[in-house]
Amino acid sequence: MIMSRIEAPPEEGAAPRGDLVGRLLAGLPAEAVHTDADVTASYAHDMASFCPSGAPAVVVLPRTVEQVQHVLRVASELRVPVVPQGARTGLSGAANAVDGCVVLSLTKMDAILEISPVDRIAVVEPGVVNAALSRAVGEHGLYYPPDPSSWETCTIGGNIGTASGGLCCVKYGVTAEYVLGLDVVLADGRLMSTGRRTAKGVAGYDLTRLFVGSEGSLGVIVRAVLALRPRPPQQLVLAAEFASAAAACDAVCRIMAGGHVPSLLELMDRTTVKAVNSLARMGLPETTEALLLAAFDTPAPADDLAAVAALCEAAGATQVVPADDAAESELLLQARRLSLTALEAVKGTTMVDDVCVPRSRLGDMLEGTERIAEKHRLTIGVCAHAGDGNTHPVVCFDAQDPDESRRARESFDEIMDLGLRLGGTITGEHGVGVLKKEWLARELGPVGVEMQRAVKQVFDPLGILNPGKLF
């Protein structure tokens, strides 16, 4: 990790650390309040590189809504910043501490409160792990589609805070499309409910969507009503090898233009394939320049895969191999899920971008990224949710080498600039956090930033909620 320090904005009348801890302990059990320097340091940052972080004054792990309200009331009265956190698997620094803050970790609030097969909803606390929810609803014949690569460890609260995506977004959509309602503790400790648990509802402004992706800057999510779907059939996966990334992207365009609706359409470039093989010895074809994975969970997935195989061959695929069964399919998906971990092992440190472009410009994005890698003499692997146009260029570098670190930062910025020039966005699913603050302003423009700051002022007039993030 390459980090410096985040200092909280000075507040008149801010309380000394002893007063803060004493006030917190008046409404929290002692085991929920941690001040040991080694413990607080372990909560200082998420998984993003090049993002500054500060030293928390205290880490609090509440178990109830009332305890969260107490923390916010104390923080508001004493003008102390609060940084909400989930599992800290984020990649933008959105969960990074600021000096003297209260880190509010929601991981102990991990109850699945309700699963309703009739209403097709789940009601959960923010600390529920994504994979745990998926397995629990699966026992009822239901399905919660959003599945980030870190789904075995990331929490629903964190997914909502960053508006995360996943491998299956091409068919099923992103987290925002599954959040029906929220309970949110505001900066002053008041509890507000938004949204609904009904299938339809248009009463008033959509405050639920406002909180999705707000990165803990508007309030603290303490309960979520999530939409579920019937569990689909087991998906089958096809792997297609291409002699160029451009040919693979052409295949993506043919598949989407042909009206096909894959449950997954993922791309791994040669650098990523080699990294995964090096890490896990999976035997992926290293002779390919791009590996495209397509999956269908339809009643007759073999027929859909055959149609997509023909389109891949028409686009120039050198080999197309459909998986024989669910086990082989899962092996291919595991390779894709390992991509970021494998690329991190190449040099020890990575900067992970998540630029999203129109599908029609996907080939331009990959070719441009390759040119940037050559210009800066760096290893940059690309894995992508190709069906969404959501690319993850991963810059691999030696954090102990100042010159290489500088080139890594420059290449990262050039990749984001490329995405904007192609009509895309600086973040498809990782959020802004600290890492992309400057780029958010460029994407939104001055009027857009002014309006977003105005919204922040309404919900957090003292500016104590996750300061230093987004703007």
Same domain, 37 and 164: no
Residues 270 and 311 in one domain: yes
The span from the CA of 15 to the CA of 415, in Å, is 43
- Is residue 67 included in any domain, yes or no? yes
List, in order, residues 6 or more apart from 131 with CB less than 8 Å away. Answer: 151, 152, 153
Q: Is the pLDDT confidence value at 12 over 60?
A: no
pLDDT (mean) for 105-117: 98
Name residue, tokens 């007759």. Answer: 300
For β-strands 102-105 and 390-397, DSSP reports them as unpaired
Structural domain includes residue 453: no
Domain shared by 216 and 264, yes or no: no
% of the chain at pLDDT higher than 90: 87
Tokens in use for 232?
Answer: 């689909």
Domain of 86, CATH number, reads 3.30.43.10
pLDDT at 205: 96
467 within domain boundaries: no
**Among 57, 84, 61, 73, which Cα is nearest to 23's?**
73
Could you read off the pLDDT of 405-421 as tens digits, one per residue?
999 999 999 999 999 99
- Cβ atoms of residues 344 and 91 within 8 Å: no
Task: Please check whether residues 135 and 223 belong to one and the same domain.
Answer: yes
Q: Report the candidate in 469, 348, 351 with the shortest Cα–Cα distance to residue 415.
A: 351
pLDDT band at 2; cut points 50, 70, 90: very low
Q: What number of CA atoms fall less than 13 Å from residue 87's CA on the CB side?
A: 20
In a domain, 285, yes or no: yes
Q: What angle is formed at CA 436 by the lines to CA 433 and CA 439, rounded to 5 degrees? A: 140
State the Cα–Cα distance between residues 144 and 173, nearest whole angstrom: 11
- 308: pLDDT confidence band, cut at 50, 70 and 90? very high
As for how many domains the chain has, the answer is 3
- Please check whether residues 147 and 201 belong to one and the same domain: yes
| Whether residue 78 sits in one domain with residue 172 | no
| pLDDT, tens digit, 9 for 90 and up, residues 112-145 | 999 999 999 999 999 999 999 999 999 999 999 9
Instruction: State the burial class of residue 417 (Cβ atoms within 10 Å of its Cβ: 0-12, 13-18, 19+).
Output: middle
Same-domain check for residues 123 and 259 = no
Residue type, 243: A
Residue 435 lies in a domain: no
Query: Is 212:163 a contact under the CB 8 Å cutoff?
Result: yes
* pLDDT (0 to 100) of residue 158: 97
pLDDT band at 331; cut points 50, 70, 90: confident
What integer pLDDT is reported at residue 7 of this predicted model?
60
Please state, in angstroms and rounded to a whole number, the distance separating the CA atoms of residues 167 and 462. Answer: 38
The whole domain housing 77 covers 17-108
Segment 296-313 shows an average pLDDT of 95
In 189-244, which ranges are continuous DSSP H helix?
207-211
Residue 13 pLDDT: 47
Q: 468-471 contacts: CB < 8 A, separation 24 or more?
A: 468/6, 468/8, 468/9, 468/98, 468/434, 469/93, 469/94, 469/96, 469/215, 469/216, 469/217, 469/432, 469/433, 469/434, 469/437, 470/215, 470/217, 470/432, 470/433, 470/437, 470/440, 471/437, 471/440, 471/441
Are 85 and 196 within one domain?
A: no
Domain containing 181 — which CATH number? 3.30.465.10
Q: Do 394 and 245 share a structural domain?
A: yes
Average pLDDT, integer, range 243-268: 96
Burial (Cβ within 10 Å: 0-12, 13-18, ≥19) of residue 390? buried
Q: What's the CA gap between 32 and 105, in Å, rounded?
A: 10
**Among 60, 89, 108, where does a domain finish?**
108
Q: Are residues 246 and 126 in the same domain?
A: no
Give the pLDDT band of residue 326 (cuts 50, 70, 90): confident
Residue 146 in contact with residue 164, Cβ under 8 Å? yes
Same domain, 226 and 247: no
Residue 47 lies in a domain: yes
Band the pLDDT of 6: cuts 50, 70, 90. Answer: low
| Displacement of CA 27 from its chain's centroid (Å) | 33
**329 found inside a domain:** yes
If one counts every other C-beta atom within 10 angstroms of the C-beta of residue 291, the result is 26
Does 6 fall in a domain? Answer: no
Boundary (domain end) residue, out of 176, 210, 230? 230
- Predicted pLDDT at 183: 98
Buried b (16+ CB within 10 A) or exposed e, 13-45: ebbeeeebbebbeeebeeebbbeeeeebeebbb
pTM for this entry: 0.93
Contacting residues for 39 by C-beta, under 8 A, at least 6 apart: 59
Structural contact between residues 126 and 95, judged by C-beta atoms closer than 8 angstroms: no
Q: Which of 385, 405, 421 is the last residue of a domain?
A: 421
Nearest alpha carbon to residue 437 among 411, 466, 457? 466
Q: Are 424 and 356 in contact (CB under 8 A)?
A: yes
Q: Are both 292 and 377 inside the same structural domain?
A: yes
